[in-house]
Amino acid sequence: MVALLVATTSDPASINPANALLGMPGWKPGPHFQDDMKSYVNEGVRVLVHGKSIVAEDELDKRWEEVTGEVIDEVIFFSKHTAASNKPALTVHPIGVPHLRQGDVPPQGGRPGWAALPNPRMGPWLRLLKNLAQAHNLVPEFEITLEATHHGPLTNKPTMFLEIGSTEDYWKRQDAAQVMAQLVWEGLGLGGVSDVGNWSRENDNKKILLGIGGGHYAPRHVDVVLKDNVWVGHLLSGYSLPMEDPNQSKGEKNVEIGGTWRQSIKAAYEATYSAFPGGEILAHLDHKSFKGWQKNAITGFLAEQNIKIGKPNNFY
């Protein structure tokens, strides 16, 4: 098992956790990958540091495999988080822009219609992150949360972002960087402990939550994922489910509801299914976030696709 962890020197919320991790025992210089990047190795973990935007370097997993001959199993990125609220937060999330149409230019990387394989560790790591943040007295100052699926870069292997938000003062916080480093250290089983969130080993509960609807921080989905033994895949917020209001169609009946919401659900489901072999994907809807016609359209489409809908207590 080889995990590729990516950080950039252009972002304090990325390089500070990477440096805190590299300050822990056992690291050695890694193979030469590219002149403008440095790599480090420790057991089955590879850290790759570059100087561009964190979403600018596509397919680093595939490129690493081509250069080194090693097979990458998962990709993890350290990054800053920005929010209009400026609230401090430590976040975990999958990536992709499954709602964009062909020809759209993704504002922060990725490819229109694409959803990365979600890293199965996200649910267990969110719970571990909450425990670590509490132990370091970062709670309640920092909110510990998932975010909905968004942005790039392109990857081929199961991927997640670990982010510190939401302003420059918080991006530079060493205590937050230390918690994120500790999350990776414990989560990947460095230092001789068992790794956390290993789907192939820990999947007694085979149900995986596919979040549909709600805001960017997915509070109704997070409430479920914070319970023990819950797995989570993609999380599609309302903005990733563009739906054209049928009332604009001048009273015609049985109007096809336009927008890319079907494409978005399908891409998110297929990526989640691929990331959790042998798992049962259940859609978890934030019902209150939808109007009646939206909910009817979505539940009808899920039935057509043979995607089951789960209530919160179906996941524990």
DSSP-derived secondary structure for 100-161? PPTT---TTSS-TT-BPPBPTTHHHHHHHHHHHHHHTT-TTTSEEEE--S------SS-EEE
Beta strands in 127-204 (DSSP E): 143-146, 159-166
- Residue 298, domain member (yes or no): yes
Question: Which one of 153, 188, 223 terminates a domain?
Answer: 188
Amino acid 256: pLDDT: 83
What distance in Å separates the CA atoms of residue 126 and residue 119, rounded to the nearest whole number?
12
- Residue 17, domain member (yes or no): yes
- Residue 64, domain member (yes or no): yes
**Do residues 231 and 88 both lie within one domain?**
no
Instruction: State pTM to two decimals.
Output: 0.96
- Residue 194, domain member (yes or no): no
- Residue 310, domain member (yes or no): yes
- Whose CA is closest to 267, among 285, 281, 287? 281
Amino acid 254: pLDDT: 61
**Do residues 282 and 310 both lie within one domain?**
yes
**Do residues 246 and 108 both lie within one domain?**
no
Amino acid 211: pLDDT: 98
- Residue 193, domain member (yes or no): no
What distance in Å separates the CA atoms of residue 161 and residue 93, rounded to the nearest whole number?
5
Residue 284's φ and ψ, nearest 5 degrees, are -115, 115
**Do residues 161 and 13 both lie within one domain?**
yes
Is 115 within 8 Å of 267 (Cβ atoms)? yes
CATH number at residue 20: 3.40.630.50
**Do residues 37 and 63 both lie within one domain?**
yes
Question: Which one of 167, 188, 209 terminates a domain?
Answer: 188
Amino acid 17: pLDDT: 98
What is the layout of strands, in order, in the sheet containing 3-8?
28-29, 38-42, 45-50, 3-8, 74-82, 159-166, 89-93, 143-146
Amino acid 293: pLDDT: 94
Which range of residues forms the domain containing residue 69?
Answer: 2-188
CA-based angle 164:134:145, to the nearest 5?
A: 45
Q: What is the pLDDT along the chain (316 residues), one digit of tens a residue?
A: 899 999 999 999 999 999 999 999 999 999 999 999 999 999 999 999 999 999 999 999 999 999 999 999 999 999 999 998 999 999 999 999 999 999 998 999 999 999 999 999 999 999 999 999 999 999 999 999 999 999 999 999 999 999 999 999 999 999 999 999 999 999 999 988 899 999 998 878 899 999 999 999 999 999 999 999 999 999 999 999 999 987 765 545 566 899 999 999 999 999 999 999 999 999 999 999 999 999 999 999 999 999 999 999 999 8
**Do residues 168 and 249 both lie within one domain?**
no
Name 288's Cβ contacts closer than 8 Å, sequence gap at least 6. Answer: 220
How many domains does the chain fold into?
2
Name 279's Cβ contacts closer than 8 Å, sequence gap at least 6. Answer: 199, 203, 206, 207, 208, 231, 273
Give the up-direction half-sphere exposure of residue 302: CA atoms within 13 A in the CB hemisphere: 20
**Do residues 221 and 86 both lie within one domain?**
no
* Structure-block tokens of residue 294: 């939206």
Using CA atoms, how far residue 60 sits from 74, 117, 176, in Å, is 11, 14, 26
**Do residues 171 and 244 both lie within one domain?**
no
**Do residues 43 and 168 both lie within one domain?**
yes
Amino acid 173: pLDDT: 98
**Do residues 227 and 182 both lie within one domain?**
no
* Structure-block tokens of residue 237: 């917020």
Name the amino acid, one letter, at 59.
E
Residue 58's φ and ψ, nearest 5 degrees, are -80, 150
**Do residues 89 and 116 both lie within one domain?**
yes
CATH number at residue 308: 3.40.50.10700
**Do residues 223 and 179 both lie within one domain?**
no
Question: Which one of 144, 165, 188 terminates a domain?
Answer: 188
